[in-house]
Structure 1
């Protein structure tokens, strides 16, 4: 069975999906770095660029967002190409200064602003409401034809005329009444969004997506999950209150963890970021894969390593590639790697072996909720694939460009180091009562600690100790020491 572990602190929320005794998905959200995907804005069109069929819109953020022609609902001049694909002339629909409702579909990455769409989606647990569509879609993960037909007929019977819906995987276990209740909630929710949008001037935030914990429950919960375990009482109550109101059938699964040990450690999971994001991953056979995130794509190389099989070379290579295919699917999901991915398998001469490796990769990716597309292995042993990228990968959350090597390598971000210090203090907890704790740090950490000093002050009050910071220019940015007096 699976479990959803939720670890909450005021400075960081961590969510882990556990299958058996293995961490398969890991998400982190920090209030200071909260994502934008799913947010709905009333935006103002800043510039329309006919040459690339796109527009830049102001959301009220530091950078304008990008609206591509394929991401706008066709409410203006429309053509069709030779293959029957609709072509929307965006410059015929939008004008500079126009106010429109948009939803963020991709986070800003690097120097690029967020990508937005006017095709709004409002997700529930069983259904996704498409306010501007007249359509019924069904999750591709529901592959039983009888289930697909039953769900389509059920939804078509209860949906209002000319409304659009997507049936999510979780709906397989839902009754008609379950779908009705959620449908009514989503329709009322859309009405509230429209009314709010009418009252404000662009740019303005109209709806903010749920926090990472509630989003994970809504999107990841399925019949395989036996429990949702939360390690903070106040946050546990918030989650229960939310579920009671919107998804009452999920409330019985929520449990409060009251142990003193870290919730992940207590469930046999070690959250070691360096290990999770290790460049080299060893396979059970003795082979290994190397994962290299690049600016335009992620490169993955498969190697024989220490494998000492006694069979012929082709069989040895085939076995390692099969094992690597399963491990790569796992790593993509765990690290949340998106975009273009290039996999260099060890060369195989047998076409049947190549096909089996591709099928193994596809099968291993079936549990992955992110959309993906896979091409056959090329004559050079290269497999190209894409994986949906909506939010930041773990690399982008936990690492920042190293100032000591000008970007040739990676180090932990200052905020991550500060939060490690806070977690160390929480672990020392009762042992530092009525004591003075001197924290020796690199001076560059002082700024981030100053910005978020309330977290350290809260711990001082909670554990009744006094903290002082001692700058040490000799320390690398990631090094720190505690002196208890």
Structure 2
């Protein structure tokens, strides 16, 4: 299975598409104006303590105060709070935590009002970006993610990802990390660390310790609500988390971003630098890799399932609902059960893909076609589980109910991706009204006469709808030939399928568009005024 990362730089930010075997699997839009991303660490100020929620609202500069629950403070919150005060006041001369005295671990069941006070400044990390009307969700259990390891201050534990199943490998990794881990820090060993040697792990550890030292330097001079440590951009973080031997290429269409990613790859994976390629083709990069077409077909309310059938996806305030329909597959099998199973298996794969593609989180209910057989329902459940196993977000899947409903909960840390797939009619401009189409030829004739006679152009190129192209070019003595006999100047007529029936454009002899004062626009304006008068 091949993986390709396609990155399109725009004025608003970077559009990031992950392709597997040329099919779009993930899509992200990393906006330039977003200052609150998962992993960012801020020096927040407690604005309000809510005993009823056992939580506090923290000001980190966002328009809505961020939410911090007691359960997200972390066992070493008191130690972190003390270290923060000492660093901010200039009383902690070094960044390392060796020998730093620790307070007693925070009780798992306690009250927020007993731990934090209004106006208190504290280090907090974003674990969920602002979604809808809600502010960010925070944690004080800080962590810094690398490619192979996650560094946790004020901890001594070394834990290994559950996805590394080999007991011998787990023990090997623990021994290696214990030999290079700095005092005062705990480490989580990520799945991608499996099989890596000590040099790679040590390089990753060095990078994370450097991040901690950067946080220390920034905190010394930080003001309330300042960001003291920013997470990597969406593009770099995807490379960090997903880069593997299955990656074939990373295509970028911006020289600036190319240089940035090249530098980052040299730090985390020097052997992968050659995968990075700067795209310089004339066609837009998303058009070249057929991503625009996939975006238009995959983000609508109705999504076609490969091989037949379709999904109807609805979003509500509380949950997402996906309805599975058989479409033209209903007559392809000998009995109803076989048809239902075939459609549901194909739909299960597309559902898992859609969750990841749209980054849908929270509760998702999938209404599959009813199946009587328990074995059939189990096959559908296993298919969803198998495809979603590649998803980086945490999820839980419940068995299909007797009503054919599959319930899924998926971790939501960012707003859902949504792309508007409907377009404004190019002919009426969304108004629902056009000028009488019979007038368009008269208008074109007047424009041609004005440009060739009064403005004395040497030649013109006329772009029109294919119907109008036939009208002007067909016949023994075509309309195009009559123009030549009248003006002794040639008007080239070109068909353009992107134009509406009443639309046209004209270019001069240099190939530059000529701005026209359309009679149709004037007629539209007069008609609108008449309508307003009638009202």
Q: What TM-score does the superposition give when structure 1 sets the normalisation length?
A: 0.77
What is the rounded CA distance, in whole Å, between the counterparts of 1:252 and 1:18 in structure 2?
18
1:38 counterpart residue number:
39
Instruction: Single out whichever of 219-228 and 191-200 deviates more from structure 2.
Output: 191-200
What is the rounded CA distance, in whole Å, between the counterparts of 1:151 and 1:34 in structure 2?
36
1:286 counterpart residue number:
308
1:49 and 2:50 are equivalent in the alignment: yes
2:364 counterpart residue number:
341
- 1:1-16 equivalent positions in 2, closer than 5 A: 1-16=2-17
Q: CA deviation at 1:369?
A: 0.8
1:326 counterpart residue number:
349
Superposed CA deviations along residues 252-273 of structure 1, whole A, max 9, x for unmatched, are: 3222122111223323433454
- 1:254-293 equivalent positions in 2, closer than 5 A: 254-271=276-293, 273-293=295-315
Q: CA deviation at 1:391?
A: 1.3
Matched-pair contact (CA < 8 Å) for 1:2–1:226: yes
What is the rounded CA distance, in whole Å, between the counterparts of 1:360 and 1:438 in structure 2?
57
1:117 counterpart residue number:
139
2:377 counterpart residue number:
354
Q: CA deviation at 1:351?
A: 1.5
Superposed CA deviations along residues 150-179 of structure 1, whole A, max 9, x for unmatched, are: 323332333234522222232224211110
- Pick from 300, 307, 328: which aligns with 2:322? 300
User: Judging changes above 3 Å, is the alpha-carbon distance between structure 1 residues 79 and 123 closer, same or farther for their aligned structure 2 residues?
Assistant: closer
What is the rounded CA distance, in whole Å, between the counterparts of 2:71 and 2:153 in structure 1?
17
Matched-pair contact (CA < 8 Å) for 1:228–1:255: yes
- Pick from 120, 123, 129: which aligns with 1:107? 129
What is the rounded CA distance, in whole Å, between the counterparts of 2:142 and 2:515 in structure 1?
51
Matched-pair contact (CA < 8 Å) for 2:253–2:280: yes
1:178 and 2:179 are equivalent in the alignment: no
1:21 counterpart residue number:
22
1:481 counterpart residue number:
none
SS in 1 for 2:7: strand
- Pick from 206, 230, 234: which aligns with 1:212? 234
Aligned residues: 409
Matched-pair contact (CA < 8 Å) for 2:131–2:414: no
SS in 1 for 2:227: strand
Matched-pair contact (CA < 8 Å) for 1:6–1:13: yes
Q: CA deviation at 1:54?
A: 0.5
User: Judging changes above 3 Å, is the alpha-carbon distance between structure 1 residues 237 and 349 closer, same or farther for their aligned structure 2 residues?
Assistant: same
1:155 and 2:177 are equivalent in the alignment: yes
Extract unaligned runs of 5+ from structure 2. 79-103, 424-507, 518-523, 527-535
Instruction: Single out whichever of 243-252 and 310-319 deviates more from structure 2.
Output: 243-252
User: Judging changes above 3 Å, is the alpha-carbon distance between structure 1 residues 290 and 439 closer, same or farther for their aligned structure 2 residues?
Assistant: farther
- Pick from 217, 220, 243: which aligns with 1:195? 217
User: Judging changes above 3 Å, is the alpha-carbon distance between structure 1 residues 193 and 285 closer, same or farther for their aligned structure 2 residues?
Assistant: same
1:465 counterpart residue number:
none
Q: CA RMSD in A?
A: 3.0
Superposed CA deviations along residues 377-417 of structure 1, whole A, max 9, x for unmatched, are: 1222211111111112211xx459x9xxxxxxxxxxxxxxx
What is the rounded CA distance, in whole Å, between the counterparts of 2:226 and 2:28 in structure 1?
27
1:380 and 2:403 are equivalent in the alignment: yes
Matched-pair contact (CA < 8 Å) for 1:342–1:382: yes
Extract unaligned runs of 5+ from structure 1. 81-85, 403-430, 441-471, 475-485
Q: CA deviation at 1:133?
A: 3.0
Matched-pair contact (CA < 8 Å) for 1:289–1:301: yes
Q: CA deviation at 1:88?
A: 3.7
Superposed CA deviations along residues 347-390 of structure 1, whole A, max 9, x for unmatched, are: 22212221221111100111111111111112222111111111
User: Judging changes above 3 Å, is the alpha-carbon distance between structure 1 residues 473 and 354 closer, same or farther for their aligned structure 2 residues?
Assistant: farther
Q: CA deviation at 1:112?
A: 0.9
Larger of the two Rg values belongs to structure: 2
What is the rounded CA distance, in whole Å, between the counterparts of 1:473 and 1:96 in structure 2?
60
User: Judging changes above 3 Å, is the alpha-carbon distance between structure 1 residues 78 and 275 closer, same or farther for their aligned structure 2 residues?
Assistant: same
- Pick from 257, 260, 266: which aligns with 1:244? 266
1:59 and 2:60 are equivalent in the alignment: yes
What is the rounded CA distance, in whole Å, between the counterparts of 2:338 and 2:292 in structure 1?
35
User: Judging changes above 3 Å, is the alpha-carbon distance between structure 1 residues 111 and 357 closer, same or farther for their aligned structure 2 residues?
Assistant: same
